[in-house]
Amino acid sequence: LAEMSSGGGEAVDMGHWMQCYAFDVIGQITYGRRIGFLDHGADVQGIMRAIEDQLAYGTLVGIYARFHRAAFAVVNFLAGKKGAGREYVVRLSKARIAEEQERRRADNAGSRNGEGAEPFVSKFLAKHELDPEKFSMHHVLAGCTANMAAGSDTTGISLSAILYYLLWHPQCMRELRREIEEFRTRGLLSSESFGFKETQQMPYLQAVIKEALRVHPATGLPMERVVPEGGATICGRFFPAGTIVGVNSWVAHRNTQIFGADADTFRPERWLISDEEKLAAMNRQWIPFGIGSRTCIGRHISTLEISKLIPRIVHGFDFELANASAAGSWATQNYWFVKPRGFKVRVARRKLENDEGSQGREYGK
C-alpha cells in the first residue's frame, strides 16, 4: 500500500490485492513461508485462475450434474499438465512437504523453537508419524492443497467487501477510525501490528466486519441437501423424499423479520444493541461461514486475517473509489464465491500527525 500511495493517484484493483494478501497468509500458515503473491503483485503460476475455473465448473455441473462425466474428461484433457495452476499447487505442496520431512529428520522431529508458529505441514506430518495408517501421506497432501484452494478467495472477498462498504459509508469509516485512535490513546493497541486479541475487543470494528459479511457473504450458492426417505417438514412445509433443499446466506441475511426493515442496508450499529434476544436471533441467522457440523473449518483463520488487516490499513491509508458511480452497485460474479470485479481504488497515506481519529478525507460519497 505504501508503494501504491506513491503511484501518482493511479487506481489499483483492491480485489486482486486483497486476494494476494490472503494467499500469502495461508501460504505462511500452511508451509511456513509466503507464496509470493504480494511480492510480485501477480497471479503466481496461474493459481488464482485455476481456482476460478474450478469454481465455475463446479457451479455449472453442480446444477447440471448429468453433464459432469463427459465435461470433466474434456476439461482435464484441455488443461493438460503444463504449469496449470492446480498442478502447481500440488507440486508446491509436495515440495514443501519433502522439505519439512527433511527438516524433521535432521532435527529428529524437533520443535521449531525460534521459528515462529508451527505451520500446518508440520502438524500434518506429526499426525502422520503418530499413525501412518489413519493419517496417510495422502491426507497430508490433501490437507495442504485444501488450505490453498479454500483459504484465499473467501477471505479476499470479505476483505474487499468490508473496505468497499466503509468507502460507501464514510460515516462508518470515521467511526472506525475514531475507535482505533481511542484504543491507541488508551494503550489498548500495543503496536502497529494490531494484535488479534486486541482487535477482538474493539466493538465497532467487529460490528463492521459482521455487518459486511452479512450484506456480502463470500458464498452465493447454498450447500444443498437431499431430503431422505419419508420426507421432511421444514418450517411447517413438507418436502418429499429426494427434494433438494438448501439455504442461501444472501437470502437468510436479508430476512426483515430478523434484521429489520433496513436489512438491505449496511449499518454496523445493528450489532451494538443491548437487546440480547434480538442479538441472539440475528446471530443464529448470520451464516457467512455456514452453520452446524459443516461450518467452515477455516473460519477462525479468516477472522484473524480480517481483524488484523482492516484496522491497520484504514488507520494508515485513505482510499477513494476510482469510479464513484460504483458506490452501492459494484460489479460481482457468482461462481459459488461472489467475487468483486474491477474494484478499483486510489490509495494515499493518511497524515496522522494532523488526525484526531475522526477526520480524514471522506471518500466514497
Q: Summarize pLDDT for 314-335 with one digit per residue, the tens.
A: 999 999 998 776 556 788 999 8
Query: Any idea which residue has 493459481 for its cell?
Result: 47
Q: From CA 169, how far away is CA 4, in angstroms rounded? A: 23
C-alpha cell at 264: 438491505
Determine the average pLDDT of the residues in 18-38.
Answer: 93
Q: Is 45 a residue whose pLDDT tops 90?
A: no
Q: From CA 162, how far away is CA 157, in angstroms rounded? A: 9
Q: What is the pLDDT of residues 114-131, one digit of tens each?
A: 566 899 999 999 999 999
What's the whole-model pTM score? 0.88
Annotation: binding site for heme: 296
Annotation: binding site: 296
For 358-362, which contacts have Cβ atoms below 8 Å and span 24 or more sequence positions? 358/174, 358/177, 358/178, 358/181, 359/174, 360/173, 360/174, 360/177, 360/318, 361/318, 361/320, 362/170, 362/173, 362/174
- Domain 1-13+152-365: CATH superfamily is Cytochrome P450 (1.10.630.10)
Domain boundaries, the chain: 1-13+152-365, 43-151
